[in-house]
């Protein structure tokens, strides 16, 4: 392996921001925060919105997640095209 081109593969604590649950695994993710794990060691901390603790597939409960207005942004972006496409199609039929 060439030195200096591979990311640092190390232990990282992932925290689910929805439930507060944490798990320790290995990753190459870059983070600026750290936390102390149960073993007393300090590890980098990566915050995630959804994990196995809160994902509907694993919990069996349906949960609508709308983070930062993604649905509204999608409707604004693509809803106008649909309306515009119908108007254009109507003009072509005449």
pLDDT tens digits for 21-54?
999 999 999 999 999 999 999 999 999 888 878 7
Tell whether 13 and 46 lie within a shared domain: yes
Q: Using CA atoms, how far apart are residues 42 and 44, in angstroms rounded to an integer?
A: 7
Tell whether 13 and 44 lie within a shared domain: yes
Instruction: Please give the radius of gyration of the chain, using alpha carbons only, rounded to the nearest integer.
Output: 22
Choice between 66 and 57, residue whose per-residue pLDDT is larger: 57
Residue 72's domain comprises 64-94
Q: Using CA atoms, how far apart are residues 57 and 61, in angstroms rounded to an integer?
A: 8
Tell whether 3 and 33 lie within a shared domain: yes
Q: Using CA atoms, how far apart are residues 20 and 90, in angstroms rounded to an integer?
A: 52
What pLDDT is stored for residue 47 in this prediction? 93
Tell whether 13 and 42 lie within a shared domain: yes
> How long is the chain?
94
Tell whether 74 and 59 lie within a shared domain: no
Tell whether 7 and 33 lie within a shared domain: yes
Tell whether 5 and 41 lie within a shared domain: yes
């Amino acid at each position: 392996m060439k030195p200096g081109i591979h990311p640092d593969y190390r232990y990282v604590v992932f925290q689910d921001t929805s439930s507060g649950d944490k798990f320790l695994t290995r990753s190459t993710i870059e983070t600026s925060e750290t936390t102390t794990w149960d073993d007393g060691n300090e590890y980098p901390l990566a915050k995630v919105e959804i994990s196995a603790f809160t994902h509907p597939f694993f919990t069996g409960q349906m949960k609508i997640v709308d983070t930062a207005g993604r649905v509204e942004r999608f409707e604004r972006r693509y809803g106008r095209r649909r309306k515009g496409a119908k108007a254009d199609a109507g003009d072509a039929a005449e």
